[in-house]
Amino acid sequence: MSAFPTPAGPPAEQASGAPAAEPPQAVFLDLDNTLIAGSSALAFARTFARHGLVDRATVARGAWAQLLLVLSGADAATMDTLRRRMTLVSTGWEVSRVREIVAATLQEVVGPLVYPEAVRMIERYREQGAEIVLLSASGLEVVEPIAGLIGIERFRASTMRVEDGRYAGELEFYCYGEGKARAAREIAAESGLDLARCAAYTDSVTDLPLLEVVGHPYVVNPDRELRAIARERGWPVLAFVRAASRRDRLFRLRDAVSDRIGVDARTRTAATPVVLAAGGVVAAVAAGVVAWRRTR
């Protein structure tokens, strides 16, 4: 029996190759759509609005961004747009105020989003003696308390420059793409880890550098490109879900659309309009439901 956790996805999604017989030295985990459903940063949009940090229009844009992330994946262009918008919106916020709000609402906002499968997987890895490391493109003030909630002591997150206790509108470190791979290499060097004997879990093709730097890559709820790459390379594909979750139903819709389209893993042009069209249908239905409720 393998020392690595058994992939949680359906049999057709699992890789045929047998994992290594020994437990990993460390496991590097992505946060958004891997440990929790959706974006950790966008999850706090309504909470920040209640406390006067953002307006309703920003909340609406955040909800739309969440939908696009689920349906079309977090490609580099999408993530760059989100990064720029969130950096701009948060400029001038008091860091201490953000920490207070996140701490006070953490269980309410993030608790329901945590995938039970991810928690069980982390527990199994801990029993095997593996070090658990969380790597996220979200901000430190959001990632640190979430890591504490899940019970992860070591983490790396994006950090913004701070002046006089307020965000200055400039990133100091972006824990994204190659940045995640660099963070993994730095942590490995600090702790004397052999990355060939480490595992990594993520959902997005933008984290391919991280998956390629470890010896045992796994993908969770992957976007279309990463799913295709995983199949080509024989990487295990896992499906983490929450019962009756609207977001998870969107994941299944996205995957069904992707599976019907024969598109190469490295091209988005043919599939993107179809996936975004599906997103438009879902958004239209959601808007109709909201309008119907308002008339009652």
Active-site positions read 30, 32
Q: Is 34 helix (H, G, I), strand (E, B) or coil?
A: coil
Alpha-carbon distance 237 to 239, whole Å? 7
Alpha-carbon distance 120 to 26, whole Å? 16
CA 62 vs. chain centroid, Å, equals 15
Strand partners, 258: none
Q: What is the CA radius of gyration of the chain?
A: 19
Alpha-carbon distance values, 247 to 85, 126, 159, 239, 244 (Å):
23, 29, 28, 13, 9
Strand partners, 131: 26
Q: 27-62 burial string, b = 16+ CB within 10 Å, else e?
A: bbbbbbbbbbbbbbbbbbbebbbeeebbeeebbebb
Looking only at the bridges linking them, the beta strands covering 131-139 and 199-202 are: unpaired
For residue 236, give the nearest of 251, 221, 248 by alpha carbon. Answer: 221
CA angle 51, 56, 58 (to 5 degrees): 95
Quote the DSSP letter at residue 114.
B
First to last CA, the chain: 57
For residue 200, give the nearest of 113, 265, 135, 138 by alpha carbon. Answer: 135
